[in-house]
Structure 1
């Protein structure tokens, strides 16, 4: 008699909102727990940051893990602030981020999520990305989860913060990246 147990992964994050979203998206496919690890803030392109971060985390944890990097990229600014959006959000908030685009005709943007998965020390991380196109708008909805209140995905009249969780997870950059991760683990079975 065989038991069908789910693969277990450690998601390296201290962000409870991210953990809840990741658990909801991976439910029934991968069992996710979290562990906060203090990693250096790396600079560079999103995929390179994700690979280095995941490799470091797997060495610290001495086992398999997933890490995530999220970028918010303004088309008018050639992709900036990109992976540095967290620092902009913490420093100038929703209003300041909106002001960054004052004077530009283009308020279009895309949200980019890059997950790294590493089997453990000595292994090369595998990268999974998801992208959602939209635009930067005046904050609407709860302002409790990063920049969700100022990002309105294309085809919707609501911001990520205003959408119900199921809808958001089905169209979000994070959901798309995790769909690729799920497909990888299903193929691996």
Structure 2
């Protein structure tokens, strides 16, 4: 029998590697949308919440394939900024996916503010081959430092120090991050869901 396949609604190699490593216990082939010829596939993320965006992305991808699909949405929520950048995390500075500009804008907006507490949240939507929808989420609390540190990771990782640590996600490296991050926790919950489906 062929391996079950799981298509992830991303072309981001970092994300695929992270997901493969966390779901390595399962006999499932993990593919990016690019692997199934959907490089151009894109979904307008116009939901007001991470849940809305991840479910919308998963549903639109599920219409294009018969495999299981997952889509996630992640946001960084800074308490002193009323939850900004939140659902706009990847385009905070106005340009989709420009991490350097996003980090610069965040540092600027937090200038002179003492409360630098924040949390990352990931919501993953899973749609099975028979189009049932499941949802998993994960949350990681921490603080935002005043200048970027570390070479690993992506997005806001160089600015975010998770609770209980004195280094940023970008300094801690993937081994630690893949155990404690918001996405890792959401994927752990997803593992339980997949386990119940297999």
Q: Within the alignment, does 1:165 sit opposite 2:178 as a pair? A: no
- Classify 1:15/1:35 alpha carbon distance in 2 versus 1 (closer, same or farther; 3 Å): same
Paired residue total: 185
- 1:76-131 deviations in Å (ceiling 9; x for gaps): 1222211211002628332221111123221110000111101247x352111000
2:165 corresponds to which residue?
156
Q: Which stretch of the first structure deviates more once superposed, 91-100 or 42-51? A: 91-100
TM-score (norm 2): 0.85
2:17 is the counterpart of 1:8: no
SS in 2 for 1:162: helix
Unaligned runs of 5+ in 2: 35-40
Please report the TM-score for the alignment, with normalisation by the length of structure 1: 0.89
Aligned match of 1:100 in 103, 109, 116? 109
List aligned pairs for 1:1-189, cutoff 5 A.
7-29=4-26, 30-36=28-34, 37-88=41-92, 90=98, 92-120=101-129, 123-137=131-145, 138-142=147-151, 145-189=154-198
Give runs of ≥4 in structure 1 deviating > 6 Å.
Answer: none
Q: Secondary structure at the match of 1:164?
A: helix
Distance 1:144 1:166, change over 3 A: closer
C-alpha separation between the residues in 1 aligned to 2:68 and 2:195? 17
| Partner SS, residue 146 of structure 1 | coil
SS at match of 2:60: helix
CA distance in structure 2 between the aligned counterparts of 1:110 and 1:6, rounded to whole angstroms: 36
RMSD: 2.0
Unaligned runs of 5+ in 1: none
**Cα distance 1:49–1:124, how it changes in 2: closer, same or farther (>3 A)?**
farther
